[in-house]
Structure 1
Amino acid sequence: MNDITTKIIEVCLLAGKIMLQSGAETYRVEDTMMRIASAYGMPSSNSYVTPTGILFSTDSLSPAKIIRISERTTDLHKVSAVNNVSRMIGNQELNPSEAYHKLKDIECSSVQFSVPMRTAAAALASGCFTIMFQGQWVDFLPAILCGGAGYTAVSLFQRLVQVRFFSEFIASFIIGLLSLFLVYIGAGKELDKIIIGSVMPLVPGLAITNAIRDLMAGHLVSGLSKGADAFLTAFAIGAGVAVVFTLM
């Protein structure tokens, strides 16, 4: 392969890697990679994407390239930024080298809100979810407190413990204990509404949505694996709350 072909492959793989790590659907990653390759004069490229890896080849003569994905998060801003670069490539506005440097800037950028800001948003959302699930206004502030404590716990334990789903289990356990305590002292009235509202920021809504969309697009392996991931996360949340009720 010449240098230009190598650079085009690097651009496609980097774009797919950023999107997959940022929470994009499998079919969207494959489509973006193939569109970029086609815009650079490689219409016969093929890509195979799973939640843990990307396999890409330009034609039957060139060796396939593979990238392993070990970390995944939710950063839809990066997904949108990669889509913008893909559109610029499709309009012939970027050569492979320029596109690669733009993608590298996107990969290294961090536009996430600070932990205190995300915790405050999760706390407020917990209170709103409690009201939405027909809770009483007296439970609004307890839900805010429990939701903030739960999100703080999940953020902390994700850094300290590498075991998957452990942080969600501990966070929901803390939410259950704190909710029970607040109801016991009379600060809240409906225990179930407080807990339901407080655990909502932990629910893997994006993973469930992506799993369904991948299944509908025919990506059975990715859809089932993402669905299993979401199910285990939801099970960990439910198990943490169930342990609290067991100890009552």
Structure 2
Amino acid sequence: MKIDKIKILEVAVLAGKILLENGADMTRVEDTMLRIGRNAGLENVVAFVTPTGIFISLRGEAYSQMESIQQTTMNLEKVAYVNQLSRKFGEGTITISAFYQLLQQIDEDIKDFNFWLKTLAASLVSASLMYIFGGEFRDFFATFVVGGMGYMLYYFLNKRTEVDFLNNGLVAFVIALLAGLFVKLHLGTDMNMIIIGSVMPLVPGVKITNAFLDGISGHTISSMTSGLQALLTAGSIGVGVAIALKLLL
């Protein structure tokens, strides 16, 4: 049976693109692409992944595919589905053509959660973490509201600009001001705990984790890139809160 090498590479690069655009680390992306190629019978497959591009080719042959990555988001549901399909392909339960069609469906049909659901989740995360970190239950409502308002601002800022760390800094500034306002209106008691809980949805936890995973796996460039992005984001959050506190105190 003749192997359609171009089709296999197209499937591998599409799977890698979906993974990388939706929050997977470089190690997972590269490993998935190589597994797809080898499970399809291509032992000489070579993959190279960067934060802005994916490359896959066959060593010693004139077959290659590449894909640019313009924008990344966070949708781990897509990552889970791609991993599931990759395992099914490795087990031989789906063909390469079916694999490609299912990947296209995942990329096009699985949408992000709606705005209000994500806002509600951000509010609950903010209030819950405030309490877990030692806050008082009487600040639960204030943190719930401030965290939700902060996420709403973050959502709309991301629609206007893609400079993520600046958006985080501005949102953190507004969150700190809102926390101070709630305390002055006697709707909250501990401004510090309200701020801590409310900024938690902004913290780049996945980027920090990916930076460590890539560093351990030897992906120095991607590790440094993810780490720098996380550092800029965390720093901008701290600066935003510090400026607001300077104005409040």
Q: Confirm or deny a common fold (TM above 0.5).
A: yes
Matched-pair contact (CA < 8 Å) for 1:4–1:96: no
Q: Which amino acid aligns with 2:140?
A: F
Mapped to 2, the partners of 1:16 and 1:163 lie a distance apart of 24
List per-residue Cα deviations over 1:63-121 (Å, max 9, x = no partner): 44321111111111111111111112112222222211111001112243211111011
Does 1:30 find its partner at 2:30? yes
The answer to which of 28-37 and 108-117 deviates more is 108-117
Q: Distance in 2 between matches of 1:106 and 1:21?
A: 12
The amino acid across from 2:49 in the alignment is V
- Using the alignment, how far apart are the partners of 2:162 and 2:231 within structure 1? 19
Residue range with higher mean Cα deviation, 18-27 or 60-69: 60-69
Give the distance between the partners of 1:126 and 1:47, measured in 2 at CA. Answer: 40
1:44 equivalent to 2:40? Answer: no
2: distance between equivalents of 1:213 and 1:63? 30
Q: How many residues align?
A: 247
**1:136 correspondence with 2:136:** yes
Q: Percent identity?
A: 38
1-side partners of 2:22 and 2:198: how far apart?
25
Query: How far did residue 35 of structure 1 move?
Result: 0.7
CA distance in 2, matches of 1:80, 1:163: 27
Q: How does 1:74-153 map to 2 (within 5 A)?
A: 74-153=74-153
Gaps of 5+ in 2: none
- In 2, the alpha carbon distance for the partners of 1:65 and 1:100 equals 15
* RMSD over aligned Cα atoms: 1.5
Partner of 2:49, secondary structure, is strand
Q: Hey, what does 1:197 align to over in structure 2? A: 197
Contact 1:183 1:190 in 2 (8 A): yes
> 158-167 vs 5-14, which deviates more?
158-167
* Deviation larger for 119-128 or 94-103: 94-103
Structure 1 range deviating more: 45-54 or 107-116: 107-116
SS in 2 for 1:24: coil
Residue type of the alignment partner of 2:56: F
Runs of 4+ with deviation above 4 angstroms: none
* Per-residue deviation, 1:194: 0.6
- 1:130/1:143 contact within 8 Å kept: yes
Give the distance between the partners of 2:66 and 2:3, measured in 1 at CA. Answer: 18
Aligned to 1:165, the other structure's residue is in SS state: helix
